Structure 1
Amino acid sequence: MSEKFIQSVDRAIDILELFSLTDTELSVKEISDRLQLSKSTVHGLIKTLENRGYLEQKPTDQKYKLGLRLFELGNLVGGGMELRNLAYPVIHDLVATLQETVHLVVLDKDEVVYVEKVEGPGSLRMYSMLGKRAPLYCTGVGKALFAHLDEETVDRILNEVELRAFTSLTLTDPVAIKRELAKIREQGYAIDDEEIEIGLKCVAAPIFNHEGKVIASISSAGPKHRFSDEKMETFISEVKLAALAVSKRFGYRG
């Protein structure tokens, strides 16, 4: 551990990271129990975070929720992302062409993070949302990106990440996953056919920078019945063209 490691800051971050889509509100006792810290320690950290706007206390039940300051900082991160800004016009055109939801993701800590999502006119509630993390091995955007990482990194991730089966169609065998990644590299696109969520299908393609390194991926996703065999050729072609258009904005000449 680094000599510059500050325990109180680390604990404060631990508190913030306890909150999730399923745990939007937590009491001092719940935080104390989960982090195995004394109530007095937790109370001091919480009051500091609350004072700076990172937490808010509800007057009704005294529980805490994430504060607006985090939303403000999150918008600064998203708004300052060159990738998101350069890709947005292309994403908008793709949604208009295919009439389905389009996602943009980047790689972070062996997962993808959704950094942009523009919904189509007939969108449905799905797994994705801005800021959410998802596996590399069983999402279209994840596989499109995963397929273009170096072999050593791919092997490390497959060895270290829990290959959980989200549906009966999720590939969890490392050998089978690597075989599919090779196919994705060859054809230039990936398909998620109900691997992360039943009823959901998507087509995804990688985005490269001027050095030819994969930096992100883009997808079009929607209900499986709207991704019929007759339409798949169009979906694949348009998603690949969109990925190439974004790549060219980063100087890609491949």
Structure 2
Amino acid sequence: MEKSSKAGNVYAGTALKALAVFDVIADADRPLGFKDLMSLCGLPKATLHRMLSALTESGLVQYDPSARTYWLGMRLVDLAGRIWERIDFSGAFTRELENLRKLTGVNAYIVALEGFQVAYIDERGSLQEVRLYYMRGRRQPAYCTAGGKAILACLDPSELRRLVGVHAMTAYTPRTITDLPALQHELGLVRERQYAVEDQELEAGQNAAAAAILDHRNQPIAAIGIAGAADRLSVARCHELGPELIAAANRITTALRHLGGHPEAEPVRMNRTHDNQMSCVFPSTSFIGDSPLWCDRTNRLYWVDILGPAIHIGNPQTGTVTTMPLPGLVGSIALRKDGGILAALQIGLAFISDRGEITPIANPEAAKPQNRFNDGKCDASGRFWVSTMSMQREPGQGALYRLDPDLSLKTMETGVSVCNGPEWNVAGDRMYLVDNFRSRILSYRYDVASGDISDPSVLVQFPDNGAVPGGIAVDKDDHLWIPMWDGKEVLRITPQGEINARFSIPVLRPTSLAFGGSDLKTLFVTSSRIRMSATELDIWPLSGSVFKLDVAVEGRPQAKFAG
């Protein structure tokens, strides 16, 4: 009897040691090497080998031979699935997969990241789709699948670089991304859109889209997606269904966090404004239409789709639009004095010729792949002012820069979160900058000769009601015009910071504005459809379009870059 008790104690001690090793791996924010585990566990080398062998054999831990590291194994997914079934968490997965299958008519699936691959946890197949491509437990490359890209976009940049450094990126089709810079650009789009699209990157004729499911720490634990033949699930259709995937992923995340409740949709479909003054001049499906500017030489309106990514050029007389696709995110643009465009791209500031040729100028944040350029404008002296922001919306990670005509770049402010503008008053001695993150407008003292700014003060502090200010324009009477994202309106504000007019707009998310037309008495307003559900898009069907408002006051011509 005493012998049996001692044996039991030995087995119990061994199990506890194995669990202790497992806990160390589970608590780590990255895969661990053997030396890391030796240091963290304090076990003899032979004992640690035995514990890791047992954990690996059981599937609780997986070993990556190329990186020589240990990480959590897929057995946990199976165990988690059993737990979810018992406490009805699986209902969230099942309902969402069934809903997506019925809505789209293609396969719906759940995947989890395993190294540089994704493992299929569950799937609901459509009768119209052949169900051989996706199977539970099947592994596929993460970098060229929608589910994998949705999860990779949520990882720390250092972890992404580590994964790419130890795993080959094989080309499966001509559209497969096979290098880190291209993957970083793609994941930047995914982070901003909050869903990923797979355009025949793993298999010709197959498309997919997916959104990440997050845990209570906002870390990715899985992705929910749809997949099907390209002739039934086009890239355009993937983008249309992106908001549905985001909503499904959010509902699963909420269920896993034991939260509930969903906002009620607005009951009225808005095809036009209440006062019928605001009209749609360029119907569009831009993800984030922004940075509008009027070209007085050609009588055309320029604007960008940040996530298109593209520059659009529209003729208000005919309603025709020319589109210039871009290789990466574009935050804002300015026209050049001698022709062409200055653009704030994901790769940095660059000139773009009329033929679309890109000439890089400077990239002050090349070491910050999580950042991107945002809004920008030229001052009266032809200097270009532009801000950067974190694509993860982390506060204080951006900066405000000034590009002078001699192409020298100066950092004017640091610790910037999300800003729009800038814009200047008629006298030119005040510069306005919209602090979107804190929902306010800042006013700086501005030195016209040197281009220096000083003494910032708050001109307007908007109420915390969910609506936040976007881009900015100033008319000849020195009044500021501001669109309100999630506010469905455009405001006119006095130089003293008081709202003296409101104009409704038939979209939920107006983004920016500019004066144009032959007399500069037409206000053009861009808008966004990013992260809007199908229900919201049904209520606000013109989201992403450009609108115009005829106003009594004259605007001011936009300055061009002098370099």
TM-score (norm 2): 0.32
* Shift in alpha-carbon separation, 1:105–1:76, aligned structure 2, 3 A: closer
Q: Distance in 1 between matches of 2:77 and 2:255?
A: 23
**Partner residue in 1 for 2:206:** 200
Q: Does 1:186 align with 2:192?
A: yes
CA contact (8 A) 1:78 1:84 kept: no
Q: Distance in 1 between matches of 2:112 and 2:83?
A: 11
Q: Distance in 2 between matches of 1:157 and 1:216?
A: 17
Q: Distance in 1 between matches of 2:243 and 2:209?
A: 10
Q: Does 1:163 align with 2:165?
A: no
Number of residue equivalences: 193
Give 1:85 deviation, angstroms. 5.0
Q: Pick from 100, 113, 116: which aligns with 1:110? A: 116
**Partner residue in 1 for 2:46:** 3
* Shift in alpha-carbon separation, 1:151–1:75, aligned structure 2, 3 A: closer
Give 1:233 deviation, angstroms. 4.2
Higher strand share: 2
Deviations 1:227-250 (A, max 9, x none): 236634432222222111111112
- Aligned residue runs from structure 1 range 65-144, under 5 A: 77=79, 79-80=81-82, 82=84, 84=90, 86-144=92-150
Q: Distance in 2 between matches of 1:239 and 1:150?
A: 22
Give 1:182 deviation, angstroms. 0.8
Give 1:76 deviation, angstroms. 6.0
CA contact (8 A) 2:197 2:208 kept: yes
**Partner residue in 2 for 1:69:** none
Q: Does 1:210 align with 2:216?
A: yes
Q: Is the partner of 1:157 in helix, strand or coil?
A: helix
Give 1:127 deviation, angstroms. 3.2
Give 1:148 deviation, angstroms. 0.4
- Aligned residue runs from structure 1 range 49-68, under 5 A: none
Give 1:140 deviation, angstroms. 0.4
Q: Is the partner of 2:121 in helix, strand or coil?
A: strand
Deviations 1:66-102 (A, max 9, x none): xxxxxxx999647415375531221111111111101
Q: Is the partner of 1:247 in helix, strand or coil?
A: helix
Q: Distance in 1 between matches of 2:207 and 2:133?
A: 11
**Partner residue in 2 for 1:224:** 230
Q: Is the partner of 1:80 in helix, strand or coil?
A: helix
Q: Does 1:239 align with 2:245?
A: yes
* Shift in alpha-carbon separation, 1:229–1:77, aligned structure 2, 3 A: closer
Q: Distance in 2 between matches of 1:120 and 1:138?
A: 22
Q: Distance in 2 between matches of 1:81 and 1:245?
A: 19
Q: Distance in 2 between matches of 1:139 and 1:75?
A: 20
Gaps of 5+ in 1: 14-72
Give 1:110 deviation, angstroms. 3.0
Once the two structures are aligned, what percentage of the paired residues are identical? 27
CA RMSD of aligned residues (A): 2.9
Q: Is the partner of 1:170 in helix, strand or coil?
A: coil
Q: Distance in 2 between matches of 1:183 and 1:200?
A: 20
Structure 1 counterpart of 2:128, which letter? G
Q: Distance in 1 between matches of 2:193 and 2:98?
A: 25
Q: Distance in 1 between matches of 2:235 and 2:78?
A: 41
**Partner residue in 2 for 1:43:** none
| Greater RCO, CA 8 A, separation 6+ | 1
CA contact (8 A) 1:140 1:204 kept: yes
Gaps of 5+ in 2: 1-33, 35-44, 58-74, 261-392, 394-563
Give 1:108 deviation, angstroms. 2.0
Structure 1 counterpart of 2:163, which letter? I
Deviations 1:179-237 (A, max 9, x none): 10111001111011111111100111111122211111011100001123663443222
Q: Distance in 1 between matches of 2:161 and 2:132?
A: 29
Q: Distance in 2 between matches of 1:109 and 1:149?
A: 12
Q: Which has the larger radius of gyration?
A: 2
Q: Distance in 1 between matches of 2:77 and 2:193?
A: 36
TM-score (norm 1): 0.67
Higher helix share: 1
Name which of structure 1's ranges 145-154 and 221-230 shifts more when overlaid on structure 2: 221-230
Q: Is the partner of 1:227 in helix, strand or coil?
A: coil
